[in-house]
Structure 1
């Protein structure tokens, strides 16, 4: 598919982030591929996946475009989403249709900032669709100016200088969608279908949802927490009656 056809195919749709860490019970490329198949059957228009092994398995199991990334901890830097050119090459070699990189203002290995890295990647690989994961409006603008094809709100609330929040960063989605001439993808803290739909109404090109769909331990914890709160409320009411 061409770059334009990929972007048009994901427009207005749900991209499911199928990722699991080594410490999680669903870790494994075969499991993530099955998760991606389930997402495809449910109507997802794309998959976001981490690491070459997972990307290859998902590409072989589905017909959906894949946003690939490589999460890697590098000493001396807080950047962990595709931090180096070698990681970009790994993701491309695995067959990803789009490559996501951290485009925040945090120094990456070698001291480059996000926009500088975006520019470097696009100069070296002008044919790829590059997704810039950002946390603030300024970062989104700088990434787009540097040549990013898509700007995603993935890291809002995950950098020291972006506000922590319990839900999606709706204001960031609005401001970026109104200002940029590239697609803005909403990602981060989206937990309900209503929140996802609101992202589209506010101007998002597409919506990425991960934990609310693909991390059953976190989904379970949210239900358990609600039940505990209910029991505590009932207990408090009982004490008041007594």
Structure 2
């Protein structure tokens, strides 16, 4: 009769497989050649539960970092840049040229124009706001975007609004403004009703007298809806 006070270890699952020493492929029988690499010798190997447990263990985050440092660091950098760009785009702050490529992101606050010889994006916003209800002015890469609510009830009136904005932007471009272009977005009752683009090079040409006001506005009109 067995000793009732004793304890015995539970039986652990184990079985034999035939493993190819060349490629590691396992076979249920000793039947060379290896069906993966063609090797003519197979070795008998005992497989236990411990082998399964080691294979099923999930590596920790630190293990992954240690084994794949470059991909992990690159992924973290991409996520960080994306988060900063989202915050800047929502107006939390201005992100100024983070990659040295002339890109900026973020909302522009209005600044009262002065006579210091420059006309900044903030002064541009304040000047536009003297005549129109500005919803936002923000950097988006290499361009400025102006969103304002139009009061125009005719094409002629809308053209007059665009002309005012374009002339102010020409002043910004001529004074060394960093943006390459201005995207004008006009809204009415929350709906977008017009979209035009002003290239900074056009603004500088107009400011220097190289092109007429009519030619300047004609170029802008051709970008409608783009």
Shorter-normalised TM range? under 0.3
| Structure whose residues are more often strand by fraction | 2
Normalising by structure 1, what TM-score?
0.25
Larger Rg: 2
